[in-house]
Chain A
Amino acid sequence: MQLPITRITLSNGLLVLLKEIHTSPIISHWLWYRVGSRDETAGSTGISHWVEHMQFKGTPQFMAGVLDKAISREGGAWNAFTFLDWTTYYETMPAEKIDLGLRLESDRMINSKFDPDDVESERTVIISERQGNENEPLFLLGEEVQAAAFRVHSYHHEIIGDMADLQTMQRDDLYTHYRSYYIPNNAVLAIAGDFDSARMIERVRELYESIPAGSAPIRKNWPEPDLPGERAVTVEGPGETTYVQLAYHAPAAQGPDFFSFTVLDSLLTGPSNLNMFGGGISNKTSRLYRALVERELAVSVYGGMQATIDPFLYTITVTVHPRRTTSEVIAAVEEEIRKVQEMPPNLDELVRAVKQARALFAYGSESISNQAFWMGFTEMFASYEWFENYLSSLAAVTPADVQKIASTYLRPQNRVVGIYQPTGEGEESP
């Protein structure tokens, strides 16, 4: 089922991954940088995301606006994402037009202008982006929970950054960040679609190989100590709906526990979907849905984990039923966790989790963009083999593994309990 990939490293250190897919005349081109909010310190939170925005503000060769228009004119889709561990830029285009994506991405690896006026106008755009997020109760709660979960590790702040930093960072801060991390030996180029690999390699060399390597950025790591005990945070805000978020420290993507945890997640709250394109499935038979929503303690429950370099969080988010309390909800979650800790799940529950994952992969593979996404994404925290072995790694998980993982990680001492407490009635219908 899986198509072979070509993997080469250019003389300047740029890792290139190619996958030929000839089902549609489309090519998807992704450039990944090993930099994200994990690389930020107090005073410069949000800088990686802001740099990502500045990458759309033009180079001497491709003026701002010209870029957007050129891609759109060719019928392409393009965007960029900043995450905890990485930043990525992609163009998916009709196959014969992809050269524009290659020229643009190689150019802005090194030539972006960071014009001071553009920095100022983008400052207010990003502040507006943050204000839009602040309108959402779950953003406000999630931000506080994450901060409480990480006292030491740089995963403690939101990717968009703190308002104080967005108001004070300067052009040179951004430019220095850009020049430090946007170098070929800190990047991965992943291209999938309707091309000939030999010719694509040649073109990649022409455009990218002349960019000099830089001194490899030191990616600092501040390991988070074990929590000394349960932490609790309360966020008060507008509305009449109460939310509970339980965030447990979870294993890193590359550790031995990740796949067992993935199965546990599937059992408790339904399968997490790691695809960038292609939606997930419902979770109405998951243990927590049955325990919370069917028993009318909650209106909804979702769980999720991320594939990250360092241990991040497994988060259970509950919309509390209007007539129920947060302590009833938390007690019911704990009861379900206790069941997994005391009794290993049935084998058929594990078989089910693997089948769910297989289906989600099949949906994701409909899209060439998504296939290109996986190549670079996995390199950010492991390697492409991680993806190729995903299903067999899941299938190797035993009931005892799941039980052990639940006992190891899902302890009150390993979590933050967050509560969004609404302060009152909203506006009635107009």
Chain B
Amino acid sequence: MSKYSFRSPAGMQPNAPGSLPGPDDISRVELPNGIVVLSRSNFNSPSVVISGYLNAGSLFEPDNLLGLANFTSLGLMRGTARRSFHEIYDALESVGASLGFSGGTHSTGFSGRSLTEDLDMLLGLLAEALRQPAFPPEPIERLRSQLLTGLAIRAQDTGEMASLAFDKIVYNAHPYSRPEDGYPETVQAIRIEDIETFHRRFYGPREMVIAVVGAVDTREAVDKISHFLGDWSNPDQPTAPGLPPVRPLENLVRQSITIPGKSQADILIGSAGPQRLSPDFLAASLGNSVLGQFGMFGRIGDVVREQAGLAYYAYSSLSGGIGPGPWYVTSGVDPANVDRAVELIRLEIARFVDEPVSKDELDDSKANYIGRLPLSLESNGGVAGALLNLERYQLGLDYYRRYPGLISGITREDVLAAARHYLHPNRLAIAVGGP
């Protein structure tokens, strides 16, 4: 028997074919040290996915060491107190398993997978990397070279450079203006002591969440996590820092990044969007679908790609998140067509905030949002991501069952109000990366 109280009913059955995750087949257990374990069984394939995050994001890093959270997360697997870099990857790759970490703004994430028969190895390695990383100098310096080469490649990437410029304009002095992978000079400035200190201070079980999905019994999943991570503690682990408000744009701000020799220019146009927990998030999200997602990229795709033939890709994106993530339209076009594409996109944004979307448009997107759920939850990775979302935003274990009702209730007026709240055709950031 398990030592822990289950929030969901005991004796859970494997989920019925095709049912959406809900309280009767998701197990949620909080270990005494604060780790929340979410799990759901799927015995259709002999494999298992683990995925999760802990509260050690780039918000904690100082301006002169940007990239520290990311560097630290990637350094975890470069050697531990017990194993060398090679031994770590030998354990993983010998059985076709994978495990990786990445630093984000609010948290450090991880994900891995293996055949079920190798789950103990995978979790043992996860625990070792989180709790006993050695940050050995030679592998860490090798990692630094790799990160610096990555940044040199980024400097040549028209889309990435446009995106950096966009964040600078929209978020100005806000932490979201800072790239999680830092700049060459900040990555160069990070010392191993900085990495060790970052790990010691910010890594810990409090607010850590882990999802286990696949061919494993949910109680067994909890027992295993408890075995490997249940006695981890870090009494001094701080809580996440708050976010300052984003100062809204007051006019159009345009910036071009020149990268000589490139064939295509990438454009981003938009501003700060809603938080995931904003009351108008779902309305904004449905509006975004009409604007630049539904079918082949919604209205934006229709105008920029299908009618004008200007671009292979042209769509809009809204991410939500803990803070006000960006809401933007992006497209890649011939450098000679940048102004025309910008104009077409601005006209669509103007129309989007001017008049409500049509009933048909909204119904289409609603049907898509509800209908695509089973597909997005087809793989273990998809389910794990969905479970982490439930926890990160405290949506409730019954959220996916309630979801169709939430979506159905949104009106054209809700969408218009959300559009007007976040987008204004004369207060936009326009960033272009190209030759």
Contact = CB atoms under 8 A, between A and B. Distances in A.
Interface of A: 22-26, 56, 64-65, 68-69, 71-77, 92-94, 97, 120-132, 134-135, 137, 194, 237-241, 270-271, 277-279, 281-286, 290, 293-294, 296, 299-300, 319, 321-322, 352, 355-360, 362-363, 365-369, 423, 426-430
A282 B92 contact: yes
Interface in B38-67: 42, 44-47
Given A26-B18, A284-B93, A356-B96, A68 B261 contact: no
Contact of B302 (A65, A124, A360): A65
Most buried by B among A124, A294, A428, A430: A430
B90 A285 contact: yes
Nearest to B88: A284
20 contacts: A23-B17, A24-B17, A72-B295, A75-B367, A76-B371, A131-B332, A132-B312, A135-B263, A194-B17, A237-B261, A238-B262, A279-B98, A290-B86, A293-B142, A296-B145, A321-B145, A359-B95, A366-B45, A366-B380, A430-B164
Interface string B364-386: 10011011111100111100000
B307 A121 contact: yes
B94 interface: yes
A39 to B, nearest CB: 23
Contacts of B371: 73-76, 94, 97
Given A74-B367, A359-B95, A128 B261 contact: no
Given A75-B374, A355-B95, A241 B153 contact: yes
A72 B146 CA distance: 40
A366 B379 CA distance: 5
Interface in B227-264: 255, 257-264
Contacts of B184: 429
Contacts of A124: 309-310, 334
A285 B364 CA distance: 48
B156 A137 contact: yes
Contacts, number: 225
B313 interface: yes
A208 B294 CA distance: 29
A360 B96 contact: yes
A299 B260 CA distance: 24
A362 B47 contact: yes
Given A72-B364, A74-B367, A358-B115, A367 B379 contact: yes
Nearest to B42: A366
Interface in B93-118: 93-98, 100, 113-115
A429 B184 CA distance: 9
Contact of A69 (B45, B86, B295): B295
Contacts of A77: 372, 375
Given A74-B367, A363-B47, A430-B164, A135 B89 contact: no
Interface residues of B, number: 77
B311 A366 contact: no
A65 B296 contact: yes
Nearest to A163: B263
B295 A26 contact: no
B161 interface: yes
B96 A125 contact: no
Given A128-B333, A132-B332, A134-B262, 4 more contacts: A282-B100, A290-B86, A294-B142, A322-B145
B265 to A, nearest CB: 9
B168 interface: yes
B332 A128 contact: yes
A76 B367 CA distance: 10
A300 B98 CA distance: 17
A430 B161 contact: yes
Closest 8 A-B residue pairs measured CB to CB?
A75-B371, A359-B96, A68-B295, A238-B261, A121-B309, A129-B312, A134-B263, A25-B18
Given A69-B294, A284-B93, A429 B155 contact: yes
B408 interface: no
Contacts of B90: 285
Contact of A363 (B113, B168, B264, B370): B113
A352 B94 contact: yes
A131 B146 CA distance: 27
Given A25-B374, A238-B260, A299-B145, A430 B45 contact: no
A97 B294 CA distance: 18
B306 A271 contact: no
A239 B152 contact: yes
B378 A132 contact: no
B295 A300 contact: no
B156 A238 contact: yes
A72 B368 CA distance: 5
A71 to B, nearest CB: 8
Given A26-B378, A72-B294, A125-B305, A135 B262 contact: yes
Nearest to A1: B46
Contacts of A356: 93-96
Contact of B375 (A68, A92, A357): A92
B368 A430 contact: no
Given A237-B261, A282-B93, A285-B86, A94 B374 contact: yes
A131 B149 contact: no
B152 A241 contact: yes
Contacts of A296: 142, 145
Interface in B121-155: 142, 145-146, 148-149, 152-153, 155
A129 B18 CA distance: 37
A357 B93 CA distance: 11
Contacts of B86: 284-285, 290, 294
Contacts of A427: 155, 161, 257-260
Contacts of A319: 149
Nearest to B366: A73
A42 to B, nearest CB: 22
Contacts of A24: 17-18, 44, 374, 378
Contacts of B17: 22-25, 194
B96 A281 contact: yes
A430 B168 contact: yes
Contacts of A286: 93
A273 to B, nearest CB: 10
B42 to A, nearest CB: 8
Contacts of A282: 89, 92-93, 98, 100
B165 interface: yes
Contacts of A123: 309
A172 to B, nearest CB: 20
Contacts of B327: none
Nearest to A353: B96
B158 interface: yes
Contacts of A137: 156
Interface string B280-313: 0000000000000011100000100111111111
B75 to A, nearest CB: 14
B183 interface: yes
A356 to B, nearest CB: 4
Contacts of A194: 17-18
Contacts of B168: 430
A352 B313 CA distance: 41
Contact of B259 (A74, A131, A238, A355): A238
Nearest to B113: A363
A300 B146 contact: yes
A75 B368 contact: yes
A240 B94 CA distance: 35
B155 A426 contact: yes
Contact of B152 (A26, A240, A290): A240
Most buried by A among B153, B367, B380: B153
A46 B301 CA distance: 23
